[in-house]
A and B are shown apart, each in its own frame.
Chain A
């Protein structure tokens, strides 16, 4: 049961509101669904809707998104065309108009498709804690979590050069379905050889996976079906089974979807 909802009007007031053990509420598309499930316990929330954390700023190649920016805001922004495939693969329009960027970073797998894209883009988070504001690599938060009482206020990353960002999500249905395998990558190819690569997998573990083994295989190699097949063998993939797909199926089809993500076929 939801026992309190604060609606602070600044990020600092929101952070202060978390001290009582309350959780930040973005769009509520994960938290409220859990609460509506009768089994959920008592919860206190601090809504970020009016805390001034919504908006997208692009300066040169630097992109900064407020934590409470909605997925619909991203979808509408022509400057973020490279994220459109990812965003439109998430839920449905009436969910995306509520769902926030920061909320996506903390939902359990197989959700977190935007988080996969942002991790591939090596995003940094603006975090507000008791000791003030600081920046943290998203990668650290994905592995270690965010300390209780702290708040993400923004996400920043360098926009990928044209043609260097890949996103591919395999799901049960073409639209509005959780991930079976999500592949997000930033990859540059020079003279047929992979010059730089950052590869992230969703749907294949309890957390997002940075596929460092596959990255090592790809780096400096020709971007061919043969290389990608070897890359798909390079990481330990221990997927989870759920209503979307069994663990066995996910492991089985991962190489296919890595190939589709990197080679388009």
Chain B
């Protein structure tokens, strides 16, 4: 089957690519668009390091043939910060030492961002459920949970700066 042209709204901008049937969204992001935030950990849906937002929902990009999501909106970690200004979730990860080697961090932040966009007042249990598909080998998860809860708290105090401002 020949390659086809796929259009995506990627981090707020309309982009086109030529994709083979076997090209995954993850490959398209990394190899065509040079966006290296989403990582290939397992390619089995099990580690979450490739998590991006697909039409606003967290999704493992390693399991999506990109030709099937033409016309969709895709947001990656690269689209979050406004220049040097980090989003509240990103800043909380820095403040709470929620990142060590950083391999899981882009996926983790996309899952956390998706949670806070839908549920601004999450419980600890909500946070654990939201990141249960994102594996972290370094932090032991506690600093990550603290960071997400504190970002939520900060956002409630300053509702004018949502994590996805600028998306």
Contact = CB atoms under 8 A, between A and B. Distances in A.
B133 A7 contact: no
A2 B3 CA distance: 12
Contacts of B44: 33, 36-37
Nearest to A72: B57
Nearest 10 pairs of A and B residues by beta carbon: A92-B133, A4-B1, A175-B132, A97-B57, A36-B43, A32-B63, A2-B22, A94-B58, A47-B68, A176-B132
Given A72-B57, A93-B114, A25 B68 contact: yes
24 contacts: A2-B65, A4-B1, A4-B21, A5-B1, A5-B65, A25-B65, A25-B68, A28-B63, A28-B64, A29-B60, A32-B62, A32-B65, A33-B44, A36-B24, A36-B44, A45-B21, A45-B65, A49-B69, A93-B111, A94-B107, A94-B111, A98-B54, A98-B60, A176-B133
Contacts of A4: 1, 21
B104 interface: no
Contacts of A91: 45, 133
A3 interface: yes
Nearest to A98: B59
A189 interface: no
A95 B111 CA distance: 11
Is the contact region of chain B dominated by helix, strand, or loop, or is it mixed? Answer: mixed
Interface string A70-100: 0010000000000000001001111101100
B73 interface: no
Given A36-B44, A47-B68, A97-B57, 14 more contacts: A2-B21, A3-B1, A5-B21, A28-B63, A28-B65, A29-B60, A32-B65, A36-B62, A45-B21, A91-B45, A92-B132, A92-B134, A93-B111, A94-B45
Interface in B41-65: 43-45, 48, 51, 54, 57-60, 62-65
Nearest to A47: B68
Chain B interface extent, by class: 20 to 34
Interface of A: 1-5, 7, 25, 27-29, 32-33, 35-37, 45, 47, 49-50, 72, 88, 91-95, 97-98, 175-176
